[in-house]
Chain A
Amino acid sequence: MHEEKNEKTFLGFWIYLMTDLLMFAGLFAAFIVLRNNTFGGVGGSQIFNMPFVLVETLFLLTSSFTCGVALLLAHEKKLKGVIAMLCTTFLLGAGFLGMELYEFSHLFSEGHTYQKSAFLSSYFALVGTHGLHITAGLLWMLILIIFILKKGLTQGGIRKITLMSLFWHFLDIVWIFIFTIVYLMGVAL
């Protein structure tokens, strides 16, 4: 019974992730169409600070790794390790989010708001949507940590960790696309 339920849940969750990916695809498409529509204002190469974004990226990649470790430990029923790894993931994710918010506020203070040009609109919308997902993921992680502390590593608990980690890796992959298409190509082209 549990087996069958897990199968359904995982398939359902994968499909959900694909729908989310399609939503991002829409935003990517919009960004690619609009990225040269700067309306006489700044373009990507003038505002992106690559070393900063690289550090940000490393935060997220590392958090994906620790999240994977948490799942491995969960299967070995090592409660303490799981909690420690989830907390590390949380902190790294929060660091990523903090850096992103800093970057946004910096752009705002320079007057590069999303109302200035279609390029900036699509940039803020795409990166911001990813940021919102990260926020949701962090909240999820927090609740999950509390849940595991209360109920231990039950069948349901492990399933929940698996789903959360799928989500987290997914955000990682989307970020890699953002890093490439928005930042690297933005600076290069």
Chain B
Amino acid sequence: MWNLLFGKLTWNSLPHVWYTIGGTLTLMLMGAVAAAVLTYTKRWKWLWNEWLTSTDPKRIGIMYIIVALLMLFRGALDAIMIWMQQALSVGSSTGYLSADHFQQIFTAHGDIMVFFATMGLLVGLMNLVVPLQIGARDLAFPFLNTLGFWLYVAGAILINMFFVFGGDFAATGWLAQAPLSELQFSPGVGVDYWIWSLQVSGLGSLLAGLNFLVTILKMRAPGMTLMRMPLFVWTTLCSSILVVTVFPILAITIAMLTLDRYLGMHFFTTTNGGNPMMYINLIWMWGHPEVYILVLPSFGIFSEVVSTFSHKKLAGYTSQVLAAIFVTILSLMVWLHHFFTMGAGADVNAIFGISTMIIAIPTGVQIFNWLSTMYRGRIVLSSSLYWFLGFVATFTFGGIAGVLLASPTADYQLHNSLFLVAHFHTMIVGGALFGLFAGITYWFPKFMGFKLNEKLGKTAFWFWLTGFFLAFIPLYILGYMGATRRLDHYTNPAWQPLFIISVLGFMVILAGVTTQILQIIISIKNRKQNMDLSGDPWDARNLEWATSSPPPFYNYAVIPEVHGRDAFWEMKKEMKENPQPANVEYKDFELPKNTPFGIYLAGFALLFGFAMVWHMFLIAGIGFVGMMVCLIIRAFDEETEYILTAQEIAKLEQERKDHIYA
């Protein structure tokens, strides 16, 4: 009975080390404070009705970004622990972390940053911007959107749960490569936390990808042909295609590992005919496209930012689109470069090495397009554009490092060294994250109604850029000299100065983060001065700027008609020539109702995942049945939408105009 109910969970596994107890207490305290504030201000109902159960992509997008920022903070805590350990633990000193603890920390760091911080920010921005840019009122499947969001939250909770409920986290590296992640070598529950967290949040990502794919293909405003779509929409489309292509592979790979661990099967074991190398192949078939899932949307953001702040249409639109498509396809065919050293033979390595290097070509095309957009443009050096210029530096740098790694001969030396670590951080931080910062700065006024403080934004940028190079150039050098990654101790004392410089770089980055937090606080405080009433603070070009800031919950009272690229720019030109707006006539339209089923279902998924980690099969059963019941109830609910009538719209629009001109 005990086993059925509690599985492997015993008193001993509950937190009993100072940092887990501390973490638990902090979390409980924060929860209590939040609950108290909500009760005191009588905001529970508001929170539930307006936010948690909302199907409005703008609300969901903001919630994504909030959770992702929390995760970014959590991942940064891990980062600082890793950095300190490596700087301190040289020669005879062993630092302050045990080897096992150190391994858990870098594993958690990688997973949290990729799956929860970067992916969360990305999907959040897509939710905010894509419907507005294509002139739609919501996504194709509003329910799947809240469900995906809550599954993402459930995954985020699961990956942090060992703090509160005990156990350990995987000590295997962020991809839990077999056979290390098999029961034989990782007998604890750490890998199981990893499995269920990624399985749950991965399902959320898959739903998001599917949703954006259908939304973009089916819900564009009249006149917006594919080749008139803004580039952020294009890259979201490419990214979504990659998501629906490779996330199923991730799911099935994790499922096979699960079968090995739970039922004693032999997919990736070292005995009974299992084949661990198959795991490495499968996980990188997902893993490499994943890095492009992360970076493609940033390419889109930069395209928007560059053409807006150069006041020019994007140079080489068609080649830009083709480059994105080419990258999408090619990224599916290069996964083997992650294990040249596995011994596939010279021919296979050569083919994958070359196909990897080819990716640099479309990427180069995009960079040249951006630069030629700026050439002879009317440039406004805003902080979004700063992030772009920084990105050109970092991304080119990291790309060249990547091409170096793509040569199998060089890779035999550099594989799994700090050089590799420096490469992908340059790409993910300097590429994906800088793009997200640019996007957040750029679109912030659209959703908040006021701009972020530009001066502090630029200061933060300089901290980030210098800090970044200071932190990672030493890693390139160390890796080149042979420093292997994922070690908690380096014996060679001659390397210590470089590690210390690297930590200093991280401190400078932290100064950048602090400035960003300050920037948000000050911008909120001075929002009256940065208020933007026009809805178009940057003199921008695409449809999202055609509606007010913040947009009404229905986005557009009348769906705009599109007559060319840079739709809003064209509209503005026309308005100048013909300032008398045509009499608008409102029509009824349908909007999705709010639904709590996303949150319920994800709640049961969380229960299921947690129970599975601890082998509490009775409770896992309850979780599973709960999910199914929610799904069935929801699937047979025929009234998921309501109608906003023309009269109501007219009234709302009038109120909105009064408010804006007040």
Contacts and interface: CB of A to CB of B under 8 A. Distances in A.
Chain B binds chain A: yes
B195 interface: no
A17 to B, nearest CB: 11
Interface stretch (B249-257, B291-299, B408-416, B440-448): B249-257
Contacts of A149: none
A144 to B, nearest CB: 9
A86 to B, nearest CB: 16
Contacts of A76: none
Nearest to A118: B273
B206 interface: yes
A12 B252 contact: no
Contacts of A58: none
Contact of B214 (A15, A29, A124): A15
Contacts of B364: none
Given A34-B267, A34-B273, A8 B256 contact: no
A26 to B, nearest CB: 4
A121 B273 CA distance: 10
A20 B273 CA distance: 27
Interface stretch (A77-85, A91-99, A109-117): A109-117
A117 to B, nearest CB: 5
Choose among A8, A29, A117 the residue with the greatest number of B CB atoms under 10 Å from its CB. Answer: A8
A174 to B, nearest CB: 13
B248 interface: yes
Contacts of A16: 210
A38 interface: yes
A7 B141 CA distance: 12
Contacts of B247: 19
Given A12-B141, A116-B272, A26 B214 contact: no
A23 B278 contact: no
Interface residues on B, range: 35 or more
Interface in A1-24: 1, 4, 7-8, 11-12, 15-16, 18-20, 22-23
A11 B214 CA distance: 7
B249 A22 contact: yes
B265 A15 contact: no
B140 A34 contact: no
Given A125-B265, A143-B636, A26 B249 contact: yes
Given A11-B217, A116-B272, A143-B636, A121 B249 contact: no
Nearest to A35: B273
A interface, by DSSP: helix, strand, loop or mixed?
Answer: helix
Contact of B275 (A4, A37, A115, A125): A37
Contact of A33 (B253, B271, B275): B275
Contacts of A114: 259, 263-265
Contacts of B271: 39
A119 interface: yes
Contacts of B273: 34, 37-39, 117-119
A147 B636 contact: yes
A27 B272 CA distance: 18
A1 B588 CA distance: 11
B648 interface: no
A153 B251 CA distance: 36
Nearest to A7: B218
Interface string B216-237: 0111000000000000000000
A12 B140 contact: yes
B585 interface: no
B278 A33 contact: yes
Contacts of A7: 218
A42 interface: no
Contacts of B632: 143
Nearest to A24: B252
A122 interface: yes
Given A8-B218, A11-B218, A23-B251, A30 B266 contact: no
A8 B214 contact: yes
A60 to B, nearest CB: 22
B175 interface: no
A121 B259 contact: yes
Contacts of A124: 265
B213 interface: yes
B655 interface: no
Contacts of A29: 278, 282
Interface in B592-638: 632, 636, 638
A115 B218 contact: no
Given A26-B253, A34-B275, A118-B273, A15 B218 contact: no
Given A33-B275, A38-B273, A117-B272, A19 B214 contact: no
B244 interface: yes
B146 to A, nearest CB: 16
Nearest to A151: B638
Nearest to A22: B248
A31 to B, nearest CB: 10
Interface in B140-181: 140-141
A126 B265 CA distance: 12
Interface of B: 140-141, 206, 210-211, 213-214, 217-219, 244-245, 247-249, 251-253, 256, 259-260, 263-267, 269, 271-275, 278, 282, 590, 632, 636, 638
18 contacts: A8-B141, A8-B214, A11-B218, A12-B211, A15-B213, A15-B214, A19-B244, A19-B247, A22-B245, A23-B248, A26-B253, A37-B272, A115-B263, A115-B264, A116-B272, A118-B272, A121-B259, A121-B267
Given A26-B256, A34-B278, A118-B269, 13 more contacts: A8-B141, A12-B214, A22-B252, A26-B252, A26-B282, A30-B267, A34-B274, A34-B275, A37-B274, A39-B271, A118-B272, A121-B265, A143-B636
**A-B complex: 4 closest residue pairs judged by Cβ atoms:** A37-B273, A118-B273, A121-B265, A26-B252
